[in-house]
A = this chain, B = another copy of it.
Amino acid sequence: MQGLGIEARKASALISRASTETKNAALKAIGEEILVNRTALMTANEKDLDAGRNNGLSDPLLDRLMFTEARFTSMVEGLAQVASLDDPIGEITDMSYQPNGLQIGRMRTPLGVVGIIYESRPNVTIDAASLCLKSGNAAILRGGSEAIHSNLGLAACIETGLQKAGLPVTAVQVIEDTDRGLVGQLITMDEFIDVIIPRGGKSLIQRLIDEATIPVIKHLDGVCHVYVDGDADLEKAYSIAINAKTQRYAVCNAIETLLISDAVAKEILPRLAAGYQEHGVELRGCQTTINILGSEVQVSPAVEEDWYAEYLAPILAVRVVDGLDDAIKHINHYGSNHTDSIVTESYTAGRRFIREVDSSSVMINASPRFADGFEYGLGAEIGISTNKLHARGPVGLEGLTSQKYVVFGDGQIRQ
């Protein structure tokens, strides 16, 4: 592992100053390698699938693991897309003269070496490698052991692509050993790694918080809310509240709790409950919700834990609140600072919600499901951060960079 770190540090010095042209050539070459080696990659993937079936992996996990036609295409297209993004490195901003004639600004630089720890999806190997490469970072990738043959197959494609573009093959290193203890080593190699980005479940992320000596760009929970204000346009409220829960369930930017102002609860709740019922969503409501919906709709009483819950499933907690203040208080207390949206036509309510809700994305009259790097126009995404330091919200190329000060003088000395 030490050796891996040393190699990554060396490669980082070279890739950090590689031209945009060279980096794009590598991305293109990796895509070509994936197409050329399709059969071999399929065979490697079959090995992982066989092992997974033998080890009793669940169907959803097997599904994530599998190379399909669509996933092949999307890996290759993803590489082309990252190549088409503007190169963030070297961009100078905020350049201005000081009274003494010094010209001072900031230049965007790579972070250095990025460690990425992820689970069974092998396509993350390509996503992560391409984003690190384009942003001039060296990468050390640690994928799930279930996907090891697929990942090593992809690693070979990356290696050849880097080589063809004249970049060091150690700019992207995939850890071959599947020993779990290695993660512990990886996250304490602060001499060689500048940041760790986990893409995985809560137990992995909690372990990183406890053990890592390297800064972590993390995302713990996605307890997102829609608040239907007393001044909401109820048509917008209906479609946003339904979309935010039912468009997909197992994603972090789907809502887990719906808040409704008591001013409109009686009017909109029955209609919403019918909509959720059509989608097979189980409702857990506060007492007022239950009272309004009466006995026609199946609502179980929500308990305190429901307000904290990230169901990632067709379950929704519903609470009638006493207006805007109450809604903001609920969100800042029970939420996970991820993404929250108000539905309102009130200028003042919108303005206050935006300012006072402390989440990585705050919205007015839009579905929280839009909170991702592609929808925000970042072009790509390595994850969504609920950190406040460094990157917050969807993390694209910019989140993999830093800024240094550049100072141009004419011989100025300090008095």
Contacts and interface: CB of A to CB of B under 8 A. Distances in A.
A190 B104 CA distance: 35
A90 interface: yes
Interface residues of A, number: 70
Given A388-B112, A390-B389, A243 B413 contact: yes
Contacts of A370: 102, 407, 409, 412, 414
A45 interface: no
22 contacts: A107-B362, A109-B388, A111-B389, A112-B388, A194-B388, A209-B213, A210-B213, A233-B411, A240-B411, A247-B413, A358-B404, A361-B405, A362-B404, A362-B407, A365-B409, A366-B409, A388-B402, A389-B389, A389-B402, A392-B402, A392-B403, A392-B404
Give how many copies assemble into the complex.
2
Interface in A145-171: none
A279 interface: no
A215 interface: yes
Interface string A358-376: 1111111111011100011
A300 interface: no
B239 A405 contact: no
A146 B415 CA distance: 32
A366 B407 contact: yes
Contacts of A375: 98, 102, 414
Interface in A184-204: 190, 194-195
Contacts of A233: 411
A272 interface: no
A209 B190 contact: yes
Interface of A: 13, 16-17, 90, 96, 98, 102, 104, 107, 109, 111-112, 190, 194-195, 209-210, 213, 215, 217, 233, 235-236, 239-240, 242-244, 247, 332, 341, 354-356, 358-367, 369-371, 375-377, 387-390, 392-394, 402-414
B367 A414 contact: yes
Contact of A13 (B332, B403, B408): B332
Contacts of A209: 190, 213
A96 B376 CA distance: 10
A94 to B, nearest CB: 10
A236 B242 CA distance: 68
